[in-house]
Structure 1
């Protein structure tokens, strides 16, 4: 550019440090936010593995259908200790379950046990249909998957348990 033009730059490392600091601050705010200002009728919890870490996320759904991230927790796996810490933290921050709450999970036994331990009888646990469908289809030959997927979805559209079981 020539010596008469003053230039300055920001290194990739500086940008990375700023991003990490800003993200940390926002995450701390999220994880400390009170939850007693809204009544959640459903709680969805799921984990995802990234590199060598499992991140478990929880989001609430209110009576109007509005979703809100309630928190994220990191652990080595989606184990009972991580799941129980997650749920206990939600309750400590004001999540109300006294009128009951629907908890949608992926089928993890550790997560189901944590829900039972922390919420007791106030929680109705529902297995996530997307996870269930994936699990079922993974056990089938490729040529059978489309047909079985259609059958599952048709059964899940039924009005009553009896109709759904008959469709299955």
Structure 2
């Protein structure tokens, strides 16, 4: 299958951009912080985005990211349907302004396991480094599968936790990736 990765502009942000995107994940186990260590717990749920949420992501998250100087990448299949995306914010933070946040990275259910997420992560890392960041900051989903992905690409627990992000998503794992 041929895929095209493109940096999106405001003009690309149509209401139906994510119409064919399938954010399905059957979670069985999640990592939770207990007594200063991470523990894998039996926590089951299904995560699936509806059309209203997908339109909100395009209208609010993508638009805000691009308007503020951040970057959104879209991955499209041969029929020009978006099958994956990632967004990198442009606001530096941390004690030395060393972090830029990888706000989102998602691959449609049918297309996982093909290296698309890794490629998007690499693009975000390259862009963050070019912008002057020393590290990527990621507030990651705590599911077992998501954590396997982030650990495989070299992420570790954040040395400096962004309290605002941690409070907004209390079950997320706050991670970082050192840009070399």
Assess same fold via TM > 0.5: no
Larger Rg: 1
Instruction: Tell me the TM-score normalised to structure 2 length.
Output: 0.29
Q: Which has the higher contact order (CA 8 A, sep 6+)?
A: 2
Bigger fraction of residues in strand? 2
Instruction: Tell me the TM-score normalised to structure 1 length.
Output: 0.30
Bigger fraction of residues in helix? 1
